[in-house]
Structure 1
Amino acid sequence: MKKIFTVAWMLVFILGGLAIEAQKIELVSGSYTTVFPGVDAANRNDFPRARPRISGAALGKPIPTNEWWSDFLVKDHGGNAFNYPLSFRSDAGGLVINYTWPNVSGPHSDFREPMSDVKGVTIGLEGLSAQGSTVSDYSDWTVSLNWLYEGRDFTATIGMGMPFVYFTKAGSHNASVNVGFNPQNVRIDGNKLLIENNVGGARYIVFAPMGSIWTVLDGNFTSTLNNKNYWSIALVPDGMEIDLAKVVLEPYAYVFPADTKVSWDYNVESAKMTATYTVSPEVKEGSHNIVFQGMLPHQWANLAPGSSTPSPILYKTV
């Protein structure tokens, strides 16, 4: 299994370079192309045939087609998006969230679980029934998805290696959290929902703004968010009691990633590439200003000298 450590600030590590063949422009020891190279012998890699499903700030940006979230661009309700440690898909009622875990069957393991119709947790707005979602913005490793339906305006932001998912809404409709797997294992704790024994044994905490109240009916939890427009959910770290996790994670629950950027510096003499990862925070409430960011194995195993040190918080995923 992969192990994801968390770090709260700037991440720096060493990567190898990539070269692309076609009508190329030489650059030191590498090259790049500005011309579409065409399809291969199997007629693959053609231009996307679908009209991208974009809105908002994404309308003014180039549209990447090879991102981990690109399925949302071409389908009304895209999915199969894995950010490690979570997986996501769009639904009429909002964003479906599941824990990415290995499904062991006989001598083999399916490391793509969950791929079924299971809906561990679906987050959206009360009464939301959208025909589809759109990509409304993206940065270097985050993407924002938007749902619109009869005055309801809901946005979710997800990011690679992020155990948190961030939500905003426009208008007065209540926030909605539908627990479709073991809904009896949810506790209301003030402004928080403590979700246990979900798909794959996952545990989550939903953080509404301070002073918020949750109500429940048939496994669907709703809140006015204390007249605010933001909330978040976090996967509880492995080995941490959920009542401790609510204390550890809450300061980060209201610090959203406003932007993410990665820059590279190539040292010709050492033939090493150093990548600097920067997260810009947007503080919704409180005095905390650090985004809760996870690191994948190839990152924490190759930290450059002087880089931030990961915390001992651990998430296991495939």
Structure 2
Amino acid sequence: MLCWFPYLYISPVQAQALVVSVGEGSYSTQLPFGAVGPQKANGEAVLPKISPTFSQPVQTNDFWSSLLFPFFNNPHSNVIHAHPLNVKAVSQGLEIGHSPNHVLAASDYVYPYTPQITVGIEGMNAAQTVADAYGDWTATALWKDEGAQMRATFGHGLPFVYFNITGGEAKLDFSSSPTIWYNQDEVLGITVEGRHYGVFAP
């Protein structure tokens, strides 16, 4: 007698996949067969750098994605073109620059990254910078170093960056000696390399 027993094999990975309903649609918690997630140039998988309180869907294709994923082995970020500001997370804090003039490189118009100010905390040397939250046009980065921490919120179209610092004294470093043209009522007006900035304390 020949018997046939139909069966369904479910691999451990497949068994963990969930279909999550959202309104009239749904999504799977597992990539389709053959698909790959975020990777470095060498094919190594990368995980997002997020704070313990980060509770939003992880973005993979936004202007600030290098803050989330260390694609080029940078534990902080690559240059983030928020326009009109350019920013870059480093171990000492957030570099801020403005590049008003483009240059022609081959057949591309580019705006070279030239930071003028680094905002951080006195003595800070953070091992990494992580994503703490984001909005439609903004992202918030988080630095921690021993008992000090700093959050910086920047966004597309915003001519400012908002900082929240605890556990230490705020520190400003400049790419060259600044010209101070206003300094009173917790407001500092400075010019660095022809770019004018205002610093407003709470």
Q: Are 1:55 and 2:51 matched, yes or no?
A: yes
Mapping for residues 67-146 of structure 1, pairs under 5 Å: 67-75=62-70, 76-104=75-103, 110-114=109-113, 118-146=114-142
1:85 aligns to what SS in structure 2?
A: coil
Aligned CA distance change for structure 1 residues 53 and 106 (closer, same or farther; 3 Å): closer
Structure 1 residue 33: Cα displacement: 8.3
Partners of 1:106 and 1:50 in 2: how far apart?
31
Query: Which residue number in structure 2 is paired with residue 155 of structure 1?
Result: 151
TM-score calculated relative to the size of structure 2: 0.72
Q: Are 1:189 and 2:179 matched, yes or no?
A: no
Partners of 1:157 and 1:83 in 2: how far apart?
11
Superposed CA deviations along residues 122-148 of structure 1, whole A, max 9, x for unmatched, are: 111111111210001112221110111
Structure 1 residue 69: Cα displacement: 0.5
Superposed CA deviations along residues 227-286 of structure 1, whole A, max 9, x for unmatched, are: xxxxxxxxxxxxxxxxxxxxxxxxxxxxxxxxxxxxxxxxxxxxxxxxxxxxxxxxxxxx
Unaligned runs of 5+ in 2: 1-24, 39-44
Q: Greater relative contact order (Cα 8 A, min sep 6): structure 1 or 2? A: 1
The one-letter amino acid of 1:179's match is F
Q: Are 1:206 and 2:196 matched, yes or no?
A: no
Paired residues of 1:84 and 1:100 also in contact (CA < 8 A): no
TM-score calculated relative to the size of structure 1: 0.47
1:63 aligns to what SS in structure 2?
A: coil
1:176 aligns to what SS in structure 2?
A: strand
The one-letter amino acid of 2:96's match is I
Paired residues of 2:177 and 2:192 also in contact (CA < 8 A): no
Aligned CA distance change for structure 1 residues 189 and 64 (closer, same or farther; 3 Å): same
Partners of 1:149 and 1:73 in 2: how far apart?
19
Superposed CA deviations along residues 78-125 of structure 1, whole A, max 9, x for unmatched, are: 0221111111111111001111333436897742321xxx43111111
Partners of 1:107 and 1:72 in 2: how far apart?
28
What is the alpha-carbon root mean square deviation over aligned residues?
A: 2.5
Aligned CA distance change for structure 1 residues 165 and 37 (closer, same or farther; 3 Å): same
The one-letter amino acid of 2:116's match is G
1:120 aligns to what SS in structure 2?
A: strand
Q: Give the structure with the higher percent helix.
A: 1
Partners of 2:77 and 2:105 in 1: how far apart?
30
Aligned CA distance change for structure 1 residues 109 and 50 (closer, same or farther; 3 Å): closer
* Identity score, percent: 30
Q: Which of these two proteins has the greater Rg computed from alpha carbons?
A: 2
2:103 aligns to what SS in structure 1?
A: strand
Query: Which residue number in structure 1 is paired with residue 5 of structure 2?
Result: none
The one-letter amino acid of 1:90's match is A
Paired residues of 1:56 and 1:137 also in contact (CA < 8 A): no
Partners of 2:182 and 2:90 in 1: how far apart?
25
Partners of 1:106 and 1:89 in 2: how far apart?
22
Partners of 2:141 and 2:122 in 1: how far apart?
17
Paired residues of 1:82 and 1:100 also in contact (CA < 8 A): no
Partners of 2:87 and 2:192 in 1: how far apart?
18
Q: In the comparison of the two structures, how many residue pairs are matched?
A: 165
1:72 aligns to what SS in structure 2?
A: helix
Superposed CA deviations along residues 20-57 of structure 1, whole A, max 9, x for unmatched, are: xxxxxxxxxxxx98465677xxxxx8311211110043
Paired residues of 1:92 and 1:132 also in contact (CA < 8 A): yes
2:67 aligns to what SS in structure 1?
A: helix
Paired residues of 1:96 and 1:123 also in contact (CA < 8 A): yes
Partners of 2:181 and 2:165 in 1: how far apart?
24
Paired residues of 1:103 and 1:109 also in contact (CA < 8 A): no
Paired residues of 1:95 and 1:122 also in contact (CA < 8 A): yes
1:46 pairs with one of 36, 40, 51: 36
